[in-house]
Amino acid sequence: MPTLTGSTVTVHPDGISPADVLAVARGPARVVLSPATLDAMATSRAIVDRIEAAGRPVYGVSTGFGALANTFVAPERRAELQHALIRSHAAGIGAPMPREVVRAMLLLRVRSLALGHSGVRPLVAQALVDLLNHDLTPWVPEHGSLGASGDLAPLAHCALALLGEGWVLAPDGGRLDAAEALAAAGLRPIELAAKEGLALINGTDGMLGMLLLAIADAGHLFTMADVTAALAIEAMLGSERPFLPELHAIRPHPGQAVSAANIHRLLQGSQIMDSHRDDLAHAVQDAYSMRCAPQVAGAARDTLGFVVDVAGRELRSVVDNPVVLPDGRVESTGNFHGAPLGFAADFLAIAAAEVGAIAERRVDRLLDVTRSRELPAFLSPDPGVNSGLMIAQYTAAGIVAENRRLAAPASVDSLPTSGMQEDHVSMGWSACRKLRTVLDNLTSLLAVELLAGVRGLQLRAPLRPSPAGAAAMAAVAAFAGEPGPDVFLAPVLERARSAIAGLDLRAGVERAVGPLG
């Protein structure tokens, strides 16, 4: 396995940043432990060693787990206890989680151990770092976590690789034997001591990793939603007046103001907009899907702001159980419960689903000859023989319906486990997984609107579009061409998806109109 090279993320006892997580999860950044981190872990480990030597009963050190918390474990079997814990809890099933999610989990578990409240030896955190730096990604099944006690099964699959057991992801998405992969990388399995197995699996790292990745994706997509909305509004001869700043100052939701300012700027300098500005027969008010775009996308932006705050607090939190306090106490906590992250993920999924839903409504208007203000049916210059984007809207409608199902909250669906010891769980893992699906679906919906909006602008020729519209037209024409006879549409939509998800289209638009909020 290759050793990754690139930028370096240093883990300190005071934590890491969201940007650090992205750099490791999605890039080749290397990870190093600061000297202060090694000292903090050594200090907390010394406390565990003293407790173990004294023979005091402490959960997870000298007892069993969950409903077996009152079962005493003899000193000579406590290392065995930690290994058995990892093996038994690595009980997930299903397709493997994406590499970026697992890498985020690994880094966040290193961060948790580095805070110095978990009582593990520094070599345990270094073993996780070695996996990251050698691009060894544990094979983690999609099903298994209830979000309390954190992400037990997914993290156990990660920890199992440290023991030279279980699997790691192969380059083709399959799985390799972990022992063979470690040996090929020049690494050795580790042996766990008291408390260390529990410290490797008790926490919210999977949920938080997915949420941090989703935050980055949602921030980009909400800006791209303003871009595609502006293209559709311009193509449908809409008005820019509902986006004037003074109209949003009297309803001071910050996200709404940002979205309105984006759309207003994107619509300036357009012959298409100028062509109907003084037309008294033109509609006095545009449809809600056009006029209320900032209210919906802006509310989603404000929801994202709340989620950013939640994730930021979690990134500074100690979520292990039990925790080692500086005064020598080892106390049980409930900090592993994923409710804050589950609620946030569910809320953001609702918001993202609605950003996609209103985009689909604009696509439907663009394709409907009775509402598109003289654009040809289904944006085909020869409708009848050709169907244009008719079925692309079907696809969008189906995705909107799926997003509505996925927007139903997971975090209200608790099921008791572990002999009723864990009688309320967060389902935060499920909430975060489905949030990522909603955002992936939103990418597809905005891709359909991008293609429809550009087709509409192309069909307004010879009128010149806005500079933003011209930039989008140039980017889309490179893979979709000009309006004409029907073509195999799926590859075009895939390229449109890539344009929405990537940075080049946004960069081209921003070169034309300036930075977007």
We report the CATH number of the domain holding residue 100 as: 1.10.275.10
- Report the number of distinct structural domains present in the chain: 2
> What's the length of the chain?
517
C-alpha 382/C-alpha 346 separation (Å) is 44
Q: Are residues 224 and 275 in the same domain?
A: yes
419 lies in some domain: no
Residue 43, both tokens: 């200090």
Q: Are residues 197 and 305 in the same domain?
A: no
Q: Are residues 179 and 297 in the same domain?
A: no
Q: Are residues 125 and 259 in the same domain?
A: no
Q: Which of 23, 44, 59, 194 is catalytic?
A: 59
**CB neighbours of 257 closer than 8 A, spacing ≥ 6?**
245, 248, 249, 294, 298
Structural domain harbouring 458? 211-414+425-513
Residue 388 contacts residue 112 (beta carbons within 8 Å): no
375 lies in some domain: yes
Mean pLDDT of 402-427: 88
Residue 156, both tokens: 């156990």
- Which range (283-297, 458-472, 473-487) has the least confidence? 283-297
- Which CATH number goes with the domain that contains 323? 1.20.200.10
Judge whether residue 352 has pLDDT over 90.
yes
Higher pLDDT, 54 or 428: 428
Mean pLDDT of 499-511: 98
Q: Give the 3-state secondary structure of residue 318.
A: coil
* pLDDT score for 425: 86
Mean pLDDT of 91-113: 97
Mean pLDDT of 167-178: 94
Question: Which of the listed residues 154, 182, 203 is the one where a domain comes to its end?
Answer: 203
Q: Are residues 175 and 273 in the same domain?
A: no
Q: How are the residues of the chain apportioned to helix, strand and coil, as percentages rounded to the nearest 5?
A: 60, 5, 35
Q: Are residues 369 and 462 in the same domain?
A: yes
217 lies in some domain: yes
Q: Are residues 166 and 258 in the same domain?
A: no
Peptide bond into 322 cis (omega under 30): yes
Place of tokens 């509402």: 371
Mean pLDDT of 313-321: 93
Q: Are residues 240 and 133 in the same domain?
A: no
C-alpha 151/C-alpha 147 separation (Å) is 5
The 10 Å Cβ neighbour count of residue 281 is 5
420 lies in some domain: no
Confidence of residue 279 (pLDDT cuts 50, 70, 90): confident
Q: Are residues 136 and 224 in the same domain?
A: no
- Which range (95-99, 299-303, 411-415) has the least confidence? 411-415
C-alpha 162/C-alpha 178 separation (Å) is 8
Residue 97 contacts residue 143 (beta carbons within 8 Å): no
Q: Are residues 410 and 363 in the same domain?
A: yes
Question: Which of the listed residues 203, 237, 257 is the one where a domain comes to its end?
Answer: 203
Active-site residue flag, 59: yes
DSSP state of 243: G
Judge whether residue 282 has pLDDT over 90.
no
pLDDT, tens digit (0-9, with 9 covering 90-100), for 130-155:
999 999 999 999 999 998 888 999 99
C-alpha 385/C-alpha 171 separation (Å) is 45
188 lies in some domain: yes
Q: Give the 3-state secondary structure of residue 292.
A: coil
